[in-house]
Amino acid sequence: MSEAIIRSVPPIALPAEAGLLGRINRLALAWSSRIERMCERRRERLLLGAMSDRELADIGVGPGQADRAFREGRG
């Protein structure tokens, strides 16, 4: 009985489907990494915005310059 079930199951992916699935997988990975980078940048911006002027001065950023420092990659 189990052999009949195994024989009735179609193959999981044909070669043409595997190529399409591979492209879909690569596209999903690319979008996933892009979303992760966007979230990371947002966390960094929120962190810089939450820091006091003294903490910003410790890392070399003047008062009110957190946005500029974020754009230029400092902090």
Residue with the larger pLDDT of the pair 10 and 42? 42
CA distance 58 to 6: 67
pLDDT at 52: 81
pLDDT at 36: 93
Which pLDDT tens digit goes with each residue over 13-69? Answer: 555 556 788 888 888 888 999 999 999 988 988 888 788 888 888 888 777 777 777
In order of 25, 26, 64, the CA distances from 30 in angstroms are: 9, 6, 35
CB atoms within 10 A of CB 9: 7
Asked if residue 48 lies in contact with residue 26, where contact means CB atoms within 8 angstroms, the answer is: no
Single pTM value for the model: 0.53
